[in-house]
Amino acid sequence: MNLLNKFWNTSARPDGRLGRLNLRFMNIAHTPMARWNLSLIAWQPAWTVLDVGCGGGRNLARLLRLCPKGKVYGIDISEDSVTYSRRKNSHAIKNGRCVVELGSADAMPFTDAMFDVVTAYETVYFWPDLPLAFAEVGRVLKPGATFTFSYGLKTDTAMRYWEEQVEAMHLLPVEEIKSLLTAAGFSHIHTTAKGKATINFRAIH
């Protein structure tokens, strides 16, 4: 594995110097994707929101601005991501408006029906057990609340390229993701594509 491959592979669970460099990179490189995905939701100022796979924490900062009277939680399986996200949002953490926890999408340390929205950007294709993780997202959402996430790539060529680069990445066809969401109790499943490289899912639980 060359250095570039090693760098891309830290995306699944950022760790060490390369991982921290990637967190910094993703905070910048994912900005257009994140802004577009966030623009698809009618945010309410007092919402309680969870960002799963929060990475470098820039989306937590955006969510804090979108919900200025609410509370924003982040969770990530990587200790380096948690540390980075906490540092990036230290002011909001001190003020009690932001909490960042170490943990996995398929076993989250949150009580039932806690969130108005759950977001997950550029992370779902790393989750090893999607049925369990989707059920877990459903559990922590309030009834009728929204799960929104970016998922993979529009073209097969682009999907195959990234699957070859990043070992832990497993991109499923859109219809399969929709079936898994339905099986986990989600309805009103919408997908919106932008350019060649982003699909947004929105679903209600």
Ligand X SMILES: C[S@@+](CC[C@H](N)C(=O)[O-])C[C@H]1O[C@@H](n2cnc3c(N)ncnc32)[C@H](O)[C@@H]1O
Q: Write out the residues near ligand X by the rule CB under 6 A.
A: 11-14, 26, 30, 34, 52-56, 59, 75-78, 81, 104-105, 121-123, 126-127
- Tally Cβ neighbours within 10 Å of residue 45: 9
Q: What residue number has its CB nearest to ligand X?
A: 55
Minimum distance of ligand X from residue 45's CB (angstroms): 23
Helix (H, G, I), strand (E, B) or coil at 117: strand
Shortest distance in whole angstroms from residue 183 CB to ligand X: 18
Q: Least distance (Å) from ligand X to the CB of residue 11?
A: 4
Nearest CB to ligand X, comparing residues 20 and 178: 20
Residue 110 Cβ vs ligand X, minimum distance, rounded to whole Å: 13
Give the nearer residue to ligand X in terms of CB position, either 58 or 71: 58
Q: How far is the CB of 71 from ligand X (least distance, A)?
A: 19
**Are 74 and 101 in contact, with CB atoms under 8 Å apart?**
yes
Q: How far is the CB of 27 from ligand X (least distance, A)?
A: 6
Contacts of 182 (CB under 8 A, 6+ apart): 189
SS3 state of residue 7: helix
**Alpha-carbon gap, residue 51 to 117, rounded angstroms:** 9
Between 63 and 77, whose beta carbon lies closer to ligand X?
Answer: 77
Both structure tokens of 11: 């995306």
Cβ count within 10 A of residue 40: 13
What tokens does 2 get?
């060359």
Kindly tell me which of 81 and 89 has the beta carbon lying closer to ligand X.
81
Q: Which is nearer to ligand X, 106 or 204 (CB)?
A: 106
User: Between residues 60 and 92, which has the closer beta carbon with respect to ligand X?
Assistant: 60
Residue type, 63: L
- For 157, half-sphere exposure in the C-beta direction (CA atoms, 13 angstrom radius) is 1
The alpha-carbon radius of gyration of the chain (Å, integer) is 16
